[in-house]
Structure 1
Amino acid sequence: MADGNIPATARQAARSSADPIHDHALQATLARWNRARLAIQTPSGDWRADLDAEREMRVLEGEFLEATRLVQSERAQSAPREPQAFVAWFDALKEDGPGQGDPLFPWLAERATLDQMKWFVEQEAAGEAGFDDLVAFAQMKAPTQAKLELARNYWDEMGRGNAKGMHGPMLEALVHALKVTPTIEATVAPSLALGNTMAGLATNRRYAYHIMGALGVIELTAPGRAARVSQALRRLKVSAKARHYFDLHAVLDVKHSEAWNREVFHSIVAATPNAARWIAEGALMRLQCGAACFDLYRRHFWGDDGAKAPA
């Protein structure tokens, strides 16, 4: 199941790199492992060897997640422990969180070429961890009120029982329409890191509150960016059916975010005030990875340090 032959460069990156989010050897190794371990499997006669290999990979993953968590720990500790104040703090992340208001998205909406949008979608699709499956992991043993909201969110992600309304296949439809082929090798490290972070938070129960924060901050911050991406696709004459994924998330996630604030975060912090810190850390970790993606995308499109779009 797991690949025990971890490249020395990846192992070293997790333990000594000042910025593992940008280390492609590390992130590619974790991405391949996540793809393998989360796939449907059957019993193996070599399961003991699989467990030995998995332990080494879990240590590698843990070192990466802890390095990322440490960067956000101080800010997360400032999150209020009173539920109403925490929701207000969390909601403010859409204005002052890492990566918010990035100039990349107005530029995509107004100036990106079709080839540039293809590259952008390819990167985004490769880093997509599957929101529906992440919510399924997050709801395990959650408090009742929060669990019910996670269930409603999952049901929406699953098209409310209609295959044509499932969100995951909508993104796949855009990938096919643009004729792009996402691969781990061609995906930049921060995009891989984003998917690896989400998978790691979801599949390790010590990060149970973190994954709720990370998922909730996606619902909070995605609508504005989704609207800009949809605007770009519309300008480039991409069909309404193909761009429906971004059209939908530009609207639906606003309602989801309101429900997360009320049903998930308020209820959890009211019952367990110390959970505020962990929810905040997960949210900030997710935003940190997103900000790293946006910065690298700008460098790719604009050249130099990505600070200014070409005239």
Structure 2
Amino acid sequence: MAQNPATAEIGDVVGFAARALAEASDLARDDDVQLALFLLYASHYGSLDVIDAGWEWHPMLIATRGMLERAFEEMLRERVETPAPPVPTRDGVARALFALTAPTPGPSLSRFVAKKATGEQLREFLIQRSVYTLREADPHSWAIPRLTGASKAALVEIQSDEYGSGDLSRMHSRIFARTVRAAGLDDTYGAYLDAVPAVTLASLNMMSMFGLNRRLVGAIVGHLAAFEMTSSLPNRMYGDGFRRLGFGPEATHYFDEHVEADAVHEQIAGRDLAGGLAEDRPDLLGDIMFGAAACLTVDGWVGDEMLAAFESGRSSLRDV
């Protein structure tokens, strides 16, 4: 990846990617595969200054990205249990999504954070969240030009809130950056990239893959619906965990904001966005449900691994 694509042979990077895929036992947890995908997507976001803007559409890198994406998507479709599609109506899709995302009893990362997490564990939690949340909403925004009608209007309504409705100080990524600073951490995007485990990168990479591929527009819509529907209650618990350890509003504002905002967003996302798309494009219903189930599955892997590390007294971060 360090070689300049303007001079490298196309076979070099594609060959490296092919070998990484051949040697990977679990694509979601393979550092080489997920880091490569993250960097390739970062070229489109412009999130890392070290990546030359001229590389964005270089054929060699696009070929490499396509190879990695095909393997990653195939793995997800094999491992994600997608429910049977409901009737393609707003009410039918909304009911199915609310049933799919209903809270379950038992241990969870959010409950652990609320009741038991130490200050150091809360900082690790923020570090893991930073790879997505310092760019919050961006992966889902790729879907805006790919939608029409009611589903497009619903997505724009949600995204407008995420970006602060024109007020920079209310932009969710900026509010999260204040939380990061309040915890004594660096809010520079990518500052902790080497410390974040591959499965956490996989969660963001999945969003980017769904958002950047027009044929997967149903999946990114389903992902956002599930993401919003599972946000409000956990964020209440995360805020409680930070308050328990004495953090003030500068740290808790982000979580408190999402308790209220996402309680509204989940209704829009389930009925108007996902349900509206299903009514207009019934052929996308399977991918809408797949995207929602994939969100729950992969984010569940991330949360379960972080929780297991915290409960055993281990760091949840990579040893770098």
**TM-score range relative to shorter protein:** 0.7 to 0.9
Aligned amino acid, residue 297 of structure 1: M
After superposition, what is the alpha-carbon deviation per residue over 1:86-117, rounded to whole angstroms, capped at 9, x for unaligned?
A: 221111122278xx864222121011111110
Q: Which residue of 1 aligns with 2:40?
A: 33
Instruction: Give the deviation of 1:24 after TM superposition.
Output: 1.8
Instruction: Give the deviation of 1:234 after TM superposition.
Output: 0.9
Pairing partner for 1:185 from 184, 194, 200: 194
Instruction: Give the deviation of 1:68 after TM superposition.
Output: 1.0
Instruction: Give the deviation of 1:2 after TM superposition.
Output: 9.0
CA distance in 2, matches of 1:270, 1:47: 35
Pairing 1:68–2:76 present: yes
Instruction: Give the deviation of 1:143 after TM superposition.
Output: 2.3
Structure 2 segments unaligned to the other structure (5+ residues): 6-11, 315-320
Q: Relative to 1, partners in 2 of residues 1:82 and 1:238: Cα closer, same or farther, differing over 3 Å?
A: same
Write the mapping of 1:228-247 to structure 2, written as runs, cut at 5 A: 228-247=237-256
Question: Is the contact made by 2:226 and 2:292 (CA closer than 8 Å) also made in structure 1?
Answer: yes
After superposition, what is the alpha-carbon deviation per residue over 1:107-144, rounded to whole angstroms, capped at 9, x for unaligned?
A: 21011111110011111112447343223211113121
Question: Is the contact made by 2:220 and 2:291 (CA closer than 8 Å) also made in structure 1?
Answer: yes
Q: Relative to 1, partners in 2 of residues 1:13 and 1:47: Cα closer, same or farther, differing over 3 Å?
A: closer
Pairing 1:296–2:308 present: no
Q: Relative to 1, partners in 2 of residues 1:267 and 1:225: Cα closer, same or farther, differing over 3 Å?
A: same
Q: Relative to 1, partners in 2 of residues 1:128 and 1:26: Cα closer, same or farther, differing over 3 Å?
A: farther
Q: Which residue of 1 aligns with 2:317?
A: none
Pairing partner for 2:152 from 147, 156, 180: 147
Pairing partner for 2:278 from 269, 286, 289: 269
Pairing 1:79–2:88 present: no
Question: Is the contact made by 2:94 and 2:275 (CA closer than 8 Å) also made in structure 1?
Answer: yes
Question: Is the contact made by 2:43 and 2:56 (CA closer than 8 Å) also made in structure 1?
Answer: no
Instruction: Give the deviation of 1:13 after TM superposition.
Output: 5.0
Normalising by structure 1, we get a TM-score of 0.86
Aligned amino acid, residue 29 of structure 2: H
CA distance in 2, matches of 1:259, 1:180: 34
CA distance in 2, matches of 1:117, 1:189: 19
Question: Is the contact made by 2:14 and 2:64 (CA closer than 8 Å) also made in structure 1?
Answer: no
CA distance in 1, matches of 2:112, 2:16: 35
CA distance in 2, matches of 1:221, 1:289: 13
Root-mean-square deviation (CA, aligned residues, Å) is 2.9
Question: Is the contact made by 2:134 and 2:173 (CA closer than 8 Å) also made in structure 1?
Answer: no
CA distance in 2, matches of 1:54, 1:9: 14
Q: Relative to 1, partners in 2 of residues 1:219 and 1:51: Cα closer, same or farther, differing over 3 Å?
A: same
CA distance in 2, matches of 1:21, 1:43: 27
CA distance in 1, matches of 2:163, 2:251: 18
Tell me the number of residue pairs that the alignment of Structure 1 and Structure 2 aligns: 300
Q: Relative to 1, partners in 2 of residues 1:35 and 1:102: Cα closer, same or farther, differing over 3 Å?
A: farther
Instruction: Give the deviation of 1:37 after TM superposition.
Output: 3.2
Instruction: Give the deviation of 1:266 after TM superposition.
Output: 2.1
Q: Which residue of 2 aligns with 1:165?
A: 170
Identical residues among aligned pairs (%): 23
CA distance in 1, matches of 2:71, 2:171: 34
Instruction: Give the deviation of 1:273 after TM superposition.
Output: 2.2
Instruction: Give the deviation of 1:43 after TM superposition.
Output: 6.9
CA distance in 2, matches of 1:175, 1:96: 27
Instruction: Give the deviation of 1:16 after TM superposition.
Output: 6.2
Pairing 1:52–2:60 present: yes
CA distance in 2, matches of 1:262, 1:2: 45
Instruction: Give the deviation of 1:174 after TM superposition.
Output: 1.0
